[in-house]
């Protein structure tokens, strides 16, 4: 089901909520009594004086709104702008036209007076549904040349230092070529980026007797910090190709290396450069899955350095488990290009994801604030109407139009109407807020899906 169809369902539900919460009351109208002409020797009875005796109050005011939809359509009253502190002379003059109620006035007369008073003070409302607008995800990065958003980037390179990295490619070993590529790559990073370097398999030999030593060799030789040429050169000179390939352990260790950089405000990128598969009995796929779920939210790029087809299959599986990308390179130029290409693409997509997520959160928060603002305003206006009706009843009581008992009974009936309106506004508010939260959740999932499709192996 599409988002827009879901939004239509919400609007239909809100409409039903506002329009169908209670049925309009049909006021039972009593047949008017026919005036009987009384003649006594050619004389008629004297007419009743309205200022001396009670009479039935009538009003052409509309019925009270039965639901919120009706309240929105109800015309604002002539005194809708009046404050609730005091009734001024204009209002008192209007109330003086109300005839005196008989002591045995019935509920129909009470309701007629309530309708009349409500029609005087009814406020205009703004429909809170107007704040409900569907989220839209922004366009993906237009190109790799798009300017990167300013921020802190944490880049960790994990380098295979097993014995096979001593194999030559041309005049240099794989390790020499990898170190040169890493040195150039680190120098090209944004100045605000932190870079770290971890190596594994750099102790012992490939012999069985050294397996335990070599499989336990896993070292962070350059901790997360800004690029320093001499410092990185020193770190690169600390190791050489040696023994086995504890790849799973290196991935687990990288998770600890970047644990301090969790959260959306950090942009974490990991490069794993290896010329072979795990040889120490670890489970690098499980380690990659743990890394993905760790909260570090890294972009993982695995670069196979002159890897055969069989080994490439495992490295591909590791990249997939980490939600990352696997590439195989055959020479130093390809390795260097993959570093540069991957970092730019990764930064572009990280920036896009962070920007779109922030926009979605901001829009959702603003929308909820708008909804709360409009519903709070609506409730306040309902209470203002209630207070003005209450003050008007007190004024009618003081003018002798109604008794103190009638004042109390009429207000209790009016209060029930206003309380019901407040309940309906509360229910509508909950529905709109829930819809906004669901829309945000859907939007964030859509952003994550687009991001994963573009930074993960397809």
Q: Is 108 helix (H, G, I), strand (E, B) or coil?
A: helix
**Distance between CA atoms of 414 and 340, rounded to whole angstroms?**
73
Residue 98 has which token pair? 């109300």
pLDDT in tens, the chain (458 residues): 445 445 544 444 454 445 454 444 333 333 333 333 333 333 333 333 344 455 678 889 999 999 999 999 999 999 998 886 678 899 999 999 999 999 999 999 999 999 999 999 999 999 988 887 766 666 666 544 444 444 468 999 999 999 999 998 888 999 999 999 899 889 888 788 899 999 999 999 999 999 999 999 999 999 999 999 999 999 999 999 999 999 999 999 999 999 988 866 788 889 999 998 999 999 999 999 999 999 888 888 898 888 888 899 999 999 999 988 888 888 878 887 777 776 777 778 878 888 898 899 999 999 999 999 999 999 999 999 999 999 999 999 999 999 999 999 999 999 999 999 999 999 999 999 999 999 999 999 998 888 877 765 44
- Can you give the length of the chain in residues? 458
Do 395 and 87 touch, CB atoms closer than 8 A? Answer: yes
Domain spans in the chain, listed from the N-terminal domain onward: 56-133+359-455, 153-350
CA atoms within 13 A on the CB side of 35: 6
β-bridge partners, 300: 270
- Evaluate whether the domain defined by 153-350 bears CATH number 3.20.20.80: no
The b-or-e profile of 289-316 (16+ CB within 10 A means b, else e) is: bbbbebebbbbbbbbbbbbeeebbebbb
Q: pTM, whole model, 2 decimals?
A: 0.57
Q: Is 160 helix (H, G, I), strand (E, B) or coil?
A: strand
**Distance between CA atoms of 357 and 351, rounded to whole angstroms?**
10
- Residue 349 is inside which H or E element, if any? helix 332-398
**Distance between CA atoms of 158 and 174, rounded to whole angstroms?**
15
């Amino acid at each position: 089901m599409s988002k827009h169809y879901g939004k239509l369902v919400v609007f239909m539900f809100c409409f039903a909520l506002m329009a169908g919460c209670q049925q309009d009351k049909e006021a039972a109208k009593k047949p008017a009594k026919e005036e009987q002409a009384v003649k006594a020797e050619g004389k008629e009875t004297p007419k009743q004086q309205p200022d001396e005796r009670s009479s039935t109050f009538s009003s052409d005011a509309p019925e009270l709104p039965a639901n919120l939809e009706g309240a929105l359509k109800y015309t604002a009253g002539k005194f809708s702008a009046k404050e609730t502190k005091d009734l001024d002379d204009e209002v008192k003059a209007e109330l003086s036209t109300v005839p005196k109620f008989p002591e045995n006035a019935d509920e129909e007369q009470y309701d007629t007076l309530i309708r009349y008073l409500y029609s005087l003070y009814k406020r205009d409302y703004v429909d809170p549904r107007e704040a409900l607008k569907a989220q839209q995800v922004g366009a993906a990065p237009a190109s790799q040349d798009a300017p990167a958003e300013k921020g802190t980037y944490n880049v960790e390179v994990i380098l295979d230092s097993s014995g096979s990295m001593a194999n030559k490619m041309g005049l240099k070993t794989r390790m020499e070529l990898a170190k040169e590529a890493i040195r150039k790559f680190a120098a090209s990073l944004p100045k605000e980026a932190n870079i770290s370097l971890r190596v594994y398999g750099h102790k012992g030999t490939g012999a069985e007797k050294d397996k335990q030593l070599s499989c336990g060799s896993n070292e962070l030789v350059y901790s997360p910090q800004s690029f320093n040429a001499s410092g990185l050169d020193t770190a690169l000179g600390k190791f050489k190709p040696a023994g086995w390939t504890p790849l799973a352990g290196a991935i687990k260790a990288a998770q600890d290396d970047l644990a301090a950089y969790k959260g959306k405000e950090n942009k974490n990128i990991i490069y794993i450069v290896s010329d072979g598969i795990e040889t120490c009995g670890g489970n690098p796929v499980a380690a990659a899955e743990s890394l993905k779920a760790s909260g570090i939210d890294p972009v993982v790029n695995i670069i196979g350095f002159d890897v055969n087809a069989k080994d490439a299959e495992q490295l591909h599986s590791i990249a997939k488990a980490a939600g990352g990308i696997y590439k195989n390179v055959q020479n130093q130029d390809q390795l260097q290009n993959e570093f540069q290409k991957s970092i730019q693409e990764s930064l572009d997509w990280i920036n896009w994801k962070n920007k779109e997520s922030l926009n979605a959160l901001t829009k959702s928060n603003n929308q909820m604030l708008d909804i709360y603002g409009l519903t709070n305003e609506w409730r306040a206006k309902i209470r203002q109407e209630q207070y003005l009706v209450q003050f008007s009843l007190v004024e009618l009581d003081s003018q002798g139009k109604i008794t103190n008992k009638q004042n109390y009974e009429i207000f209790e009936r009016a209060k029930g109407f206003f309380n019901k309106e407040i309940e309906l506004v509360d229910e509508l508010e909950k529905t709109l807020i829930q819809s906004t939260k669901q829309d945000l959740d859907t939007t964030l999932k859509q952003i994550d899906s687009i991001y994963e499709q573009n930074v993960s192996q397809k």
